Amino acid sequence: MTQYDGKVVISLNVNGEVFEVAVRPADILLDVLREQLGLTAAKPGCLNGDCGACTIVVDGLPAKSCLMLAVEAEGHAIETVEGLGGVAAAQRAFVDGNAFQCGYCTSGFLMVCHSLKAQYPTVPEEYIIEEWLQSNICRCTSYNEIRKAVYMMYE
């Protein structure tokens, strides 16, 4: 059985690279990504799992990094917007479709869309797109543009 007390060094696989980080078992993954690895794309928003600004991808599925302990991420493949390299279909579609205003929610939406494309290589039914997008909030209300960007991502 693995047991961690106090500060421990763990390995995290983030964007294909392995990093060693010193964490408390109570540290949330969002804070470790931002403060120890300097990966600031995932944003702190509600810190409650509601807004989706902190969304990353874990083992191919979206996850809210404010609701995951860093120690839980050991042995899993983590992706953040930094790992998309500016060339992912979701990123191109968001730029081409002007699918953002202030941009604070954009990283989270991008990771949801990136995971959607990986899970559904061809355009899924409308209700599936709606289900996935409902996990995130855009307070600038760019929802129409974001939805259009999802379809552009598949072109």
Task: Count CB atoms within 10 A of the CB of residue 120.
Answer: 14
We find the least distance from the C-beta atom of residue 1 to other proteins, in angstroms, to be: 5
Q: Are 18 and 7 in contact (CB under 8 A)?
A: no
Q: Interface mask (CB under 8 A) for other proteins, residues 82-121, using x and -?
A: ------------------------------x---------
Q: Is 2 a binder of other proteins (CB under 8 A)?
A: yes
Q: Is 134 a binder of other proteins (CB under 8 A)?
A: yes
Rounded Cα gap, residues 109 and 125, in angstroms: 18
User: Running DSSP on this structure, what letter comes out for residue 65?
Assistant: G
Radius of gyration of the chain (CA): 16
Q: Is 41 a binder of other proteins (CB under 8 A)?
A: no
Q: Provide the sign of the torsion angle of the four alpha carbons 75, 4, 54, 107, taken in this order.
A: negative
Q: Is 42 a binder of other proteins (CB under 8 A)?
A: no
Rounded Cα gap, residues 13 and 17, in angstroms: 5
Identify the residue among 14, 43, 80, 132 touching other proteins (CB under 8 A): 132
Closer of 67 and 77 to other proteins (Cβ): 67
Q: Is 3 a binder of other proteins (CB under 8 A)?
A: yes
Strands 77-79 and 8-14, how do they pair?
A: parallel
Q: For binding to other proteins (CB under 8 A), which residues are involved?
A: 1-6, 24-28, 31, 47-49, 52, 55, 61-64, 66-69, 71-72, 112, 131-132, 134-136
